Amino acid sequence: MLLGTMVLAAAVAQPLAGPQVRESGPSSAARLRYDGTMVEPELPPPVMILGSIDLTEAECARVDALLGERAAVFDRAVTDNWEGLLSLDGFKAERNLRAQALVIAGFLSSLKPLADHPPLREQVRGALDDSHYDEFDALLVRFDHDQLASWRADAERSGEPPRLLGHAIEAAGRSFGAEVERAVERYVSDGTGLLERLLDDLDLTPEQDRIVRAIVADHMAGPGFEPDEETQKQLFLKVVTHLPPDKAARLIEILKRGF
Alpha carbons 72 and 45: distance in angstroms, whole number: 19
104: containing domain: 21-190
227 domain-assigned: yes
C-alpha separations of 131 from 24, 41, 82, 117, 138 in Å: 20, 26, 43, 23, 13
pLDDT for 128: 94
| Same domain assignment for residues 104 and 139 | yes
Domain termination site, one of 143, 161, 190: 190
Whether this model's pTM surpasses 0.85: no
Sign (positive/negative) of CA torsion 200, 202, 206, 212?
negative
What is the tens place of the pLDDT at every residue in 39-68?
A: 777 788 898 888 889 999 999 999 988 888
Domain termination site, one of 166, 190, 214: 190
DSSP classification of residue 29: S
34 domain-assigned: yes
| Same domain assignment for residues 109 and 174 | yes
pLDDT for 189: 67
| Same domain assignment for residues 44 and 70 | yes
| Same domain assignment for residues 30 and 83 | yes
Domain termination site, one of 164, 190, 216: 190
Q: What is the amino acid identity at position 12?
A: V
pLDDT for 43: 81
16 domain-assigned: no
Alpha carbons 73 and 114: distance in angstroms, whole number: 7
pLDDT for 23: 36
| Same domain assignment for residues 179 and 242 | no
Q: Residues 6 or more apart from 242 whose CB is under 8 A from it?
A: 211, 212, 215
CB 44 within 8 A of CB 157: no
Residues of the chain with pLDDT under 50: 1-29
pLDDT for 36: 59
Alpha carbons 41 and 54: distance in angstroms, whole number: 20
- Residue 216 bridge partners (DSSP): none
Alpha carbons 238 and 188: distance in angstroms, whole number: 22
| Same domain assignment for residues 53 and 28 | yes
| Same domain assignment for residues 149 and 159 | yes
Total domain count, the chain:
2
| Same domain assignment for residues 52 and 140 | yes
pLDDT for 106: 93
pLDDT for 237: 81
